[in-house]
Structure 1
Amino acid sequence: MMINKLIYTCITASLALGAYAQKSDGTTKSLVNAERSFAERAAKQGVKTAFLDFSAADALVFRPNPVNAKTFYAGQEDSKNLSWSPVYARVSKSGDWGFTTGTYVMGGAEKTYGDYLSVWKAVNDKWELALDLGTSHNKPLNRGKEDFVEPANFYKPKFINNKQIAAGNEIILTTEKTLNATLKSYNAAAFSGFLTEDARLLFPGNEPIIGKNNIMAFYNGMVSKISLKTTKADRALGGDLAYTYGVATIDYKADLRESFNYVFIYERQADHNWSIIAQVFTPAER
């Protein structure tokens, strides 16, 4: 009886600790804490266990194409060969979702290095992973400087219905349709009118490219044409952040074409236009 009680107490404490580790209070700090707890769970109990525990029921992971996270990891063997750490994070002023990016290292005979982007959603005051993908590159020369941006103020509509939510998402889809039309006319140079000055790009084979000028230099140097096929858009209830994901077709200047899954993070600007603050591309399997 005493042993059973001890086991029950340990399990209860473990579950309580997990719930506390994912606690959301609308701050970026709470999201970063959830991300770090996620990584710690993976290091101690295994990557499969961590993803099954921290992922939302409808979460998507790109491995390489989008697949339900719980379905994917349920069929994987557990391992402790993946570690990661956030370096940049934002949360919507409505506190209902946010995102993180950072570095990862995958162990094994030869280590693999890269960067990831994860979207998180707050469900019943608990952060749950909603979207996750990453890019690989050589061992980084420098670790990125941590930049965790807190929401300027809290705002969340008291009453909002599904029709209004759909209308908000449609605005983002229209913005991306405009971007795609502009890309057809002006090729990669079109991104110049849609990127914030401090935007960041995660692209396979490259360390994070930070700053609009650096991103445009990268695009102009490598990319001939690019087209987007948007799968979905989702806007935070606060109306300040949004994300899209889909498939991008890129024609390089070196006469080569590749397909990528992409995620773009948008931020509403002071002039009410939506601009991209983060982009990530990962190879798609066709």
Structure 2
Amino acid sequence: MQKALTYLIIFGCTIVTAISQPTDKVGQLVSAENYFAALAKEKGIKKAFLSVSDDNTIIFRPGPVSAIKYFKGKRDSLGILNWEPSFARISKSGDWGITAGPSTFKASDTSKTHYGDYLSVWKKNTKGVWKLAIDIGVVHPKPKTEPVLVFQNAKNEIYQKQRSQNRLQQREDVVFSSDKLMGTILKADDQIALKEFIAEESRLLFPGFLPITGKKNIMNFWRIQGFNLSSEPVKADRSLSGELAFTYGNASILHQGETKKYHYVRVWEVQQGYVWNVIYEAYVQAANEPKKEEND
């Protein structure tokens, strides 16, 4: 089944910019992430987040909230939060990227260690400084292996340049419509939706479970757990070069006759055939939902 609306990707693309082979721009993004993590150790979680946030930064606590409003109204946590990226991608335009990797949290030096993984989207501001756009994380059992590092520059920096606000909005609307279509198909048959929209190399973060990599493994996860998923997007955003984007929204999961509410973030990429596929996805349970026990 061919995805609807994907042909709209070419809206407003009139100027093609060719640039030489990319430098290690993803390394610059990873450096920004590592600085963020180091700042959390030195100055505390609150100051670290405020240093990389702007008025558009959204974090999930557990629902989507403004990072600045959330942290300004709170005392700094005395907990010890550590993380490091093991996965990073950057857009052709160099203004937009994603990082993900393992994390640990301890309330104090002597308290229990909680393990997890996070997914972050970064955007450069008008001054060329990396700022956090989206941040979401899950808790899961202690990993049994070290993550494989995957840091990917864009294969080239040739992209169709478009700065008109109307055209840029149309391009975001395409991503939003793709997510909405995925949600519609999920309600009817989640396996068909996953087969159609999940990239072969996709990754999934789900609370209580270790990260899942690969389309086949992700489809098996949903099938084996017996989860019936449906979703509805709230917001979409897209890189200037257009090939990477994210959506976030609300999801419902039906399991053994009980429905639980979640929030999700999906990172999308235009892949072969000019179709949008999900390359990274993360879920967190909504407020007032019982937390799922950690599973091996």
TM class, shorter-chain normalised?
0.7 to 0.9
Contact 2:37-2:83 at 8 Å conserved across structures: yes
Cα-to-partner distance string for 1:153-197 (whole Å, 9 max, x where unaligned): 124555521100111011111211221221122134421111111
Contact 1:36-1:86 at 8 Å conserved across structures: yes
1:77, distance to aligned residue in structure 2 (A): 2.2
Equivalent in the alignment of 2:3: none
Q: Within the alignment, does 1:146 sit opposite 2:149 as a pair?
A: yes
Equivalent in the alignment of 2:13: none
CA distance in 1, matches of 2:40, 2:51: 10
Note the 1:208-223 alignment, pairs <5 A. 208-223=211-226
Q: Within the alignment, does 1:36 sit opposite 2:34 as a pair?
A: yes
CA distance in 2, matches of 1:224, 1:129: 31
Equivalent in the alignment of 1:128: 131
Equivalent in the alignment of 1:242: 245
CA distance in 1, matches of 2:227, 2:103: 30
Contact 1:199-1:276 at 8 Å conserved across structures: yes
1:207, distance to aligned residue in structure 2 (A): 1.0
Note the 1:12-27 alignment, pairs <5 A. 27=25
CA distance in 2, matches of 1:149, 1:194: 21
Question: If the length of structure 2 is used for normalisation, what is the TM-score?
Answer: 0.84
For 1:46, give the aligned amino acid: G
Note the 1:1-286 alignment, pairs <5 A. 27-78=25-76, 79=78, 81-108=80-107, 109-123=111-125, 124-155=127-158, 157-252=160-255, 254-285=256-287
Question: If the length of structure 1 is used for normalisation, what is the TM-score?
Answer: 0.87
- The DSSP-based 3-state class of the residue aligned with 1:56 is coil
CA distance in 2, matches of 1:171, 1:147: 28
Contact 1:266-1:276 at 8 Å conserved across structures: yes
**Higher relative CO (CA 8 A, sep ≥ 6), structure 1 or 2?**
2
- The DSSP-based 3-state class of the residue aligned with 2:253 is strand
1:220, distance to aligned residue in structure 2 (A): 0.8
Runs of at least 5 residues in structure 1 that lack an aligned partner in the other structure: 1-24
Contact 2:203-2:211 at 8 Å conserved across structures: yes
CA distance in 2, matches of 1:26, 1:268: 22
For 1:30, give the aligned amino acid: Q
Any runs of at least 4 consecutive aligned residues in structure 1 with deviations exceeding 6 A, and if so which?
none
Cα-to-partner distance string for 1:69-97 (whole Å, 9 max, x where unaligned): 01111122223511100000111111111
- The DSSP-based 3-state class of the residue aligned with 1:49 is helix
- The DSSP-based 3-state class of the residue aligned with 1:152 is coil
CA distance in 2, matches of 1:187, 1:133: 23
Structure with more helix by fraction: 1
1:125, distance to aligned residue in structure 2 (A): 1.2
RMSD: 1.5
